[in-house]
Amino acid sequence: MRVNIVHPGAGELQYEIRSIVAFAQALEKTGIDITWENIGDPIAKGEAVPVWITDIVADAARDSFSYAYSPTKGMNEAREFLSQARTEETGTELSPENILFFNGLGDAITKTYTWLNPIARVLGPSPAYPTHSSVEGAHGRSRHLTYNLDPQNNWQPDLEDIRNKIQYNPNITALLVINPDNPTGMVYDPEILKEFVKLAKEFNLFIIADEIYANLAYQDAEFVSLASLLDGVPAIVMRGLSKEVPWPGSRCGWLEFYNTDADKAFATYITSLEEAKMIEVCSTTLPQVVLPKILGDSRYQPYIVERTKAYQKRGKQAADTLNQIDGVQVIEPKGAFYLTINFDDHFLQKSRNLSAQNPEAQKLLDQKLSETDESELDKIFCYQLLAHTGICTVPLTSGFNSYRPGLRMTLLESDESVYTHTLDTLQKALYDYVTS
C-alpha cells in the first residue's frame, strides 16, 4: 500500500469470547462434546422467549410500518416510554430528546469512544467487558487504562486506585462503571457509586455507566441506577434489550444523556454522537416498535424475577462446588448471568497440566499452546480445560483485559442435570490440574 492503511489502534482490538470458538470447533471434529460456556446469549443456551413476547413481536412484524426507517434518534414512542419510566425510576429528569438508539449496545459503545477526542481517555474496570477495553484502547491508540476490581472485597472497585490513576494522568476525562458487572456479576454498593460521582465532580470528569444488566440484578441486591445519584455530573447511561428480553439478535441498545448542559464540551460531544448517528440514518426499527409493549407489560417484571432467581441459584451452586478446590475463589454473583473464577497467585503453574481427551485433540492442543505466550497462564489453562473436558470458557487476562488470572463461564444452562454435570466436571478438572 502507498501508505500504512492499518489504524494505529488496531492492535488493541480483541474479543476472546468469540476467538476461542474456532479452536473449540476443531476439537469438536475430533469427537469431543463441547459445552459452550463462552458467550452470554441466553437464547443460544436454550432459554425460550415467553410466548406473550413472541406474540407482540409477531403482531408488529405483520405491520408494514415496522419495516420502515425509524427517526434518527429512535422511534418517538420508545423514547417517550423510556423517558417516563426512567424519570420515575431515578427521580432524575430524562427527556426523550436525550435518548439515542443504536444497533445494539456494542454499536453504541463503539461510537461513544470513536467520537471522543483521542487524547481524552476513559478509565475503566479490570476485569472488563472487552468491547469497552478494546475500543477505548483503539481510540486512545494505546492500552486501555484501568482500575482494579478487588476480589478480596467482593469485586468492588478499588477507590484509592481510581483516585491515584486520575491524579497522575491528566488525560483521564471519564470514568466507566459496568453495573451489574460483566464478567464478575457484581452489583456495586450505592455508596461506592456516590464516590464515583464525587471523584467526577472533584476532577471535572464525566461518567459512563453500562447498565445493560440493570433489570437482571438479583432480588436481594441493592441495585441503583447511576442516573439517580448524579448530583449534576454529566453522564451517559447505556442500556439495551439483548440480555433482559432476551433478544441479542434485535441489535437494539440506547444511550441516555444526563446533565448535558452542565459542560459545554460535553454538550458538543453529545451533539457529535447524534450527528454521527444521523449520517447512518437510524437503527433497527422493529425492536423499538415493540419495546414499550414488552417492557410495559404486567407480565414483564414477574418474568424477570423468575429468571434472576434461577441465575442466583446457579451462582450459589457454582460457588459451593468450585470453592472446595484450594487456590480457586468464586464470589457469588449479585446480578447478570456470569460467573468469574479467580485463581490465587500460585494456582496456575507451568509445571501443571491437563491432557486432551484423544491423540488428535492433543495434537491440536500442542499446536495451540506453541502459538500462545507462555506468560498467559489462564489462557493456557483455558485451552487445556477445553481439550480435557470440552468446557469452553473465556480466560480473564486476555478475554477481559484483567489484572487477575481466571476464567469466566455463564449461569445460563437451564437443564439442572447438565449444569450440575458441568460443575462437577470442572471441579474434577481443577483438582486434576492442581495435583498433576
Ligand X SMILES: Cc1ncc(COP(=O)(O)O)c(C=O)c1O
Binding site for ligand X (CB under 6 A): 40, 104-106, 129, 178, 182, 210, 212, 240, 242, 248, 253
Query: Which is closer to ligand X, CB of 108 or CB of 361?
Result: 108
Distance CA 339, CA 218 (A): 14
For residues 182 and 397, which CB has a smaller minimum distance to ligand X in the complex?
182
- Answer positive or negative: Cα dihedral of 315, 316, 319, 322: negative
Phi, psi of 130 (to 5 degrees): -65, -20
C-alpha span between 146 and 127 (Å, rounded): 9
Nearer to ligand X, 190 or 249 (CB): 249
Compute the least distance from the CB of residue 373 to ligand X, in Å. 25
Distance CA 365, CA 3 (A): 38
Nine-digit cell string for 56: 407482540
Partners of 36 in the β-ladder: 392
Task: Report how far residue 329's alpha carbon sits from residue 308's, in angstroms, rounded to the nearest whole number.
Answer: 22
User: To the nearest whole angstrom, how small is the minimum distance from the Cβ of residue 256 to ligand X?
Assistant: 14
User: Which of 122, 163, 128 has its CA nearest to residue 145?
Assistant: 122
Least separation in angstroms between residue 106's CB and ligand X is: 3
DSSP letter, residue 315: H
Between 127 and 240, CB nearer to ligand X = 240
Comparing CB distances to ligand X, the nearer of 40 and 406 is: 40
* Angstrom distance (rounded) from CA 215 to CA 48: 18
Pairing of strands 172-178, 206-210: parallel
The distance of closest approach from Cβ of residue 279 to ligand X in the complex, given in angstroms and rounded to an integer, is: 20
Cβ 104 to ligand X, closest distance in Å?
Answer: 3
End-to-end CA distance of the chain: 51
Q: Is the peptide bond before 151 cis (omega within 30 degrees of 0)?
A: no
Which C-beta is closer to ligand X: that of 74 or that of 248? Answer: 248
**Shortest distance, position 321 Cβ to ligand X, whole Å:** 24
Residue type, position 65, single letter: F
What cell does 85 get? 419510566
Residue nearer to ligand X on the CB measure, 256 or 325: 256
Q: Whose Cβ is closer to ligand X: residue 266's or residue 400's?
A: 400
Which residue lies nearer to ligand X by CB, 250 or 389? 250
CA–CA separation, 411 and 311 (whole Å) = 6
> Is 256 in contact with 266 (CB distance < 8 Å)?
no
Burial of 20 (0-12, 13-18, 19+ CB in 10 A): buried
Least separation in angstroms between residue 133's CB and ligand X is 11
- Distance in angstroms (rounded) separating the CA atoms of residues 107 and 176: 17
238 alpha-carbon distance from chain centroid: 11
Q: How far is the CB of 235 from ligand X (least distance, A)?
A: 16
The sign of the CA dihedral 405, 111, 69, 235 is: positive
Q: Which is nearer to ligand X, 173 or 242 (CB)?
A: 242
Q: What is the closest distance, in whole angstroms, from the C-beta atom of residue 105 to ligand X in the complex?
A: 3
CB of 178 to ligand X, least distance (A): 5
DSSP E strand boundaries for 43-157: 99-103, 121-126, 146-150, 156-157
Strand, helix or coil for residue 176: strand
State in angstroms the smallest separation of the CB of 354 from ligand X: 28
208/224 with CB nearer ligand X: 208
